Amino acid sequence: MTKTDTNTTAIVADNSVVQPNYPTSARDALEQKYAETIITNAELSRQLVSNQANKTTPFFRWFKYKEGFSRPMVEYLIGKLTDKPGRLLDPFAGAGSALFAARAQGWETTGIELLPVGIHAIQARIAEEQVQPQDFRAAVDKIRDEFWQSEHDATPYFEHVNITRGAYPEDTERQLHSYIRFCRKRIRDAHVRTLLEFAAFSVLESISYTRKDGQYLRWDSRSGRSYASKTFDKGPILTFKEAILKQLELMWEDISVTPTDLFTANEVESQMGGPDVELFEDSCLTKLREIPANRFDFILTSPPYCNRYDYTRTYALELVYLGAGEERIKELRQAMLSCTVENKEKVEQLESFYRERRATPLFTKAYEAFENQAALQEVLKILENERDLKRLNNPGIIRMVRNYFLEMSLVIHECARTMRKGGWFVMVNDNVSYNGQHVPVDLILSEFAQSAGLTVEVIWKLTKGKGNSSQQMGRHGRREVRKCVYVWRKATGQSATRLRLKSVRQR
């Protein structure tokens, strides 16, 4: 073997490539710094933290939003960390898990969400609370008895984009467009109409040739698309009639149940008479700047992970259904938190945004926290070397990782500004690995939290982490990365905080 330094790939006799001896000192130091703070919490299972615990929950039976966390987890965290309701913010609101679960406990809730998919889901949940069950039933009967007897207009109600064109059988497509027209012309009650349209929104995947598969849509070979897999068969593809009638009856099952059957007495009072959910359709990268300081008692969120997951592709069918065209989808992809290789640099845009609002000091502080984070810079330099060696499967990964952490530093600093003293900031996120290099997302973001004036109370580690991708396992072996819930707090000057957390600590 030839001698090599940290920037040279070692070559062995059979000409196979060996991983360079990359430095880990900065990441090791960070792991040591937080060693006493990282605690395995056996009460937090993957099922509880993920959407899996929502399977029997009303609304989540209607629309499988896999990126959200569960209502039981929200209840667990609020019960563990607080004594009374206050104001809660979720800057990455998704389908509203935190907003509705917290409001059911008496909290005033505010959400920021950019993706129209989440906005539509939240609006449907609000409509479900307002609708009269008998009005919804009458509309379902009208769909069942009248819609199928009417002529189905083939004129498109929405326009496809390249990645969704040909997603449905012709009859299904025609009936889908006609259904939307029928609802908008024949259903007068706005809440009922919202729910009927949400029913169609919820069955798009089941009536299509596609299946959500990680970072993209996977196409059934029956689709006829030239690049569709010749072997992939997603199984039965429902007709629109089968899917929509089944979906409407499922929704009726939940809507027809009285509130006292679904919730406790206190929750009923909160849901029926409590404050409305405050919802902003915007990017938290800019919207947070408009929120006054010292407003929230609790921030609970799960941002997009730094894992190349492109929501605009995964939810392409839903976005098109909601009227998004090619340009709008591109705009959304760039406006969202950088988590895909296609995201462009935002630093100049964000710096200008803060300068125009005379908020340069906060931007500078967040930027310096990002630039001076040694473990992150260690990873970035290694990825740059991997790129130079042509071992990085997409050079955009470097830009994505850099943008992700810069933007998250800004989000964390802004959130800290909006928190009251003694307020809690809880975040759910996963660590990641690229080209065999572990990226300690939990610890890097906790460093940003400290820069923003928050204390890192505990980083709860789930008993089971997440494995690296199959591509990375082939080259670097299997390595499990942490799945964590970070618990930060805005300083109060009191020393009793950790006593509340001690009961669930398990080394």
Is the pLDDT score of 191 beyond 70?
Answer: yes
3-state secondary structure 92-131: CCCCCHHHHHHHCCCCEEEEEECCHHHHHHHHHHHHHHHC
With 0.85 as the threshold, say if the pTM is over it. yes
Q: How confident is the model at residue 379 (pLDDT cuts 50, 70, 90)?
A: very high
Q: Give which of 427, 202, 443, 265 is closest to 337, Cα–Cα.
A: 427
Please state, in angstroms and as integers, the Cα–Cα distance from residue 36 to each residue in 367, 415, 428, 484, 505, following that order.
Answer: 27, 25, 19, 15, 11
The average pLDDT across 44-66 equals 73
pLDDT at 463: 85
The percentage of residues in the chain with a pLDDT greater than 70, rounded to a whole number, is 84
127-136, 170-179, 473-482: least confident range? 473-482
Q: For residue 434, give the 3-state DSSP assignment.
A: strand
Residues pairing with 109 in the sheet: 88
Confidence tier at 475 by pLDDT (50, 70, 90): low
Give the number of other Cβ atoms within 10 Å of residue 502's Cβ.
Answer: 9
Dihedral of alpha carbons 347, 348, 353, 356, sign: positive
Nearest-CA neighbor of 321 among 505, 88, 63, 137? 63
Average pLDDT, integer, range 291-303: 97
Radius of gyration of the chain (CA): 24
Pair 126, 336: CB distance under 8 Å: no
Q: What is the mean pLDDT of residues 385-404?
A: 95
Under the banding of pLDDT at 50, 70 and 90, the label for residue 157 is: confident
Model confidence over 27-47: pLDDT tens digits?
999 999 999 999 999 998 877
Spacing of C-alpha 86 from chain mean position: 24
Model confidence pLDDT, tens digit, residues 3-14: 333 343 443 333
Tens of pLDDT, residue by residue over 332-373, are 999 999 999 999 999 999 999 999 999 999 999 999 999 999
The model's pLDDT over 444-461, given as tens digits with 9 standing for 90+, comes to: 999 999 999 999 999 999
Q: Residue 475, Cβ neighbours under 10 Å: how many? A: 12
Instruction: Work out the pLDDT band at 242, boundaries 50, 70, 90.
Output: very high
Parallel/antiparallel/unpaired status of strands 17-18 and 87-90: unpaired
49 confidence band (pLDDT: 50, 70, 90): confident
| Cβ neighbours, 10 Å, residue 181 | 15
Domains detected in the chain = 10-127+261-502 (3.40.50.150), 128-260 (no CATH)
Count Cβ atoms within 10 A of the Cβ of residue 361 and give its class: 0-12 exposed, 13-18 middle, 19 or more buried. Answer: exposed
Q: What is the pLDDT of residue 57?
A: 67
Mind listing the pLDDT tens digit for each residue in 322-332?
999 999 999 99
